[in-house]
Chain A
């Protein structure tokens, strides 16, 4: 039994359930497309994407609420020696992030496949770049924030004080996060920009996406409005994840090793 398998043992229902939902959805969409109706599938896909994507928030929420298996917890006997804070946080963060990476890869991959089979043209790098951007800029910081929430609650005696402190500090982190994003977007002009992706929606697909009839070339449409996609949120996400990771490691060693 190592830390990774311990994490999987604690969270297999959550991780497995999330991936099962994504796979069932993928199979259903694939059946619609292969039955020869990619156009309707595009509309259904877009609708379901907005419903399914936020379900990934379950992972950090559950991480925030469960500390079972901590140093003196019910599953501790499965490990032969106490673990360092770094190993503990890395295992929890790694398993949760890998689960969400697979989940969003399935959502994004299926959407890209449906789009291309319906005739939407896009750059080959677009799905992967979007996935990586979302994972680094928003998913990773949210996951580690969930872990920090749980550890902050554990740093106080059971009761309302710890909950109030944890809620207030997490709201503070969200505010600082959005403030940092705004500052980085406005002031760090030297950061590289990603090019605007080339996405062409043909006229047959447009009505299914609620776009005015006619071809839509997204790149040409957005070009006078934006020069490119800013990478500032990615750098802010990296910085925030690293800081929260360090805080989680220290919290674990101070709170659970005592």
Chain B
């Protein structure tokens, strides 16, 4: 039996409630507004439940599949070490973002060839050992390019096709 079975039961119960609500809502009232409102909203709920169930089933599938590949889910870069205050790292819109109000000490390594933009207000950042002045830079990173940060403030690194200095 699939590991997904308990989740499937959970979603089936919700789906039953939504569809039953839509049916009862449509058949048991004389008020047209109540009929249309309840049927529309309950069916909308049923659609959302279906989408959610399908998505979580996909997550189970991929997490259990034997030929597990990290390449597609892997971020375009990783850090050897990092020390930051109020920071975020992850996808944001169309780009992968590393943002921090203060980055004390970090070493990032690019994993694939990709455009990037890098912005910081003060401090020192070294790209492949070459020191950069505060400001905003765009460029094309190669595999194994390194970014060494020693105490930058308002640090923001965008990686991806849409990376820009705006």
Question: Which residues on A are within 8 Å of B, measured CB to CB?
Answer: 148, 151-152, 155-157, 161-162, 164-173, 175-176, 179, 186, 212, 220-225, 247, 250-251, 254-255, 258
What is the bound-complex CA distance between A101 and B44, given in angstroms? 31
- Asked if B20 contacts A164 (CB within 8 A), the reply is yes
Question: Which residues on B are within 8 Å of A, measured CB to CB?
Answer: 17-18, 20-22, 24-25, 28-34, 37-38, 40-45, 48, 85-88, 93, 99-101, 119, 154-156
What are the residues of chain B within 8 A of A166 when measuring CB–CB? 38
- Asked if B28 contacts A168 (CB within 8 A), the reply is no
- Asked if B101 contacts A171 (CB within 8 A), the reply is no
A152 in contact with B38 given A164-B21, A168-B20 (CB within 8 Å): yes
A169 in contact with B86 given A164-B21, A251-B31 (CB within 8 Å): no
- Asked if B44 contacts A155 (CB within 8 A), the reply is no
- Asked if B18 contacts A172 (CB within 8 A), the reply is yes
The 5 closest A-B pairs by CB, nearest first: A168-B21, A172-B41, A172-B45, A155-B34, A165-B25
What are the residues of chain B within 8 A of A250 when measuring CB–CB? 33
Q: How far is the CB of A185 from chain B (nearest CB, A)?
A: 10
- Asked if A168 contacts B38 (CB within 8 A), the reply is yes
Partner of A162, one of B18, B28, B33, B48: B28
Q: How far is the CB of B114 from chain A (nearest CB, A)?
A: 20
What are the residues of chain B within 8 A of A168 when measuring CB–CB? 17-18, 20-22, 25, 38, 41-42, 45
What is the bound-complex CA distance between A144 and B101, given in angstroms? 40
- Asked if A161 contacts B33 (CB within 8 A), the reply is no
Query: Which B-chain residue is minimally distant from A220 (CB atoms)?
Result: B101
Query: Which A-chain residue is minimally distant from B157 (CB atoms)?
Result: A224
* A interface: dominant SS: helix
What is the bound-complex CA distance between A167 and B154, given in angstroms? 47
- Asked if B28 contacts A156 (CB within 8 A), the reply is yes
A155-B31, A168-B25, A220-B101 known; 5 other A-B pairs, CB under 8 Å?
A: A165-B21, A168-B18, A247-B33, A254-B34, A258-B30
What are the residues of chain B within 8 A of A169 when measuring CB–CB? 21, 25, 37-38, 41-42, 45
What is the bound-complex CA distance between A170 and B42, given in angstroms? 8
What are the residues of chain A within 8 A of B45 when measuring CB–CB? 168-169, 171-172, 175
What is the bound-complex CA distance between A212 and B87, given in angstroms? 14
A157 in contact with B28 given A220-B154, A221-B85, A251-B34 (CB within 8 Å): yes
What are the residues of chain A within 8 A of B29 when measuring CB–CB? 155-156, 162, 165
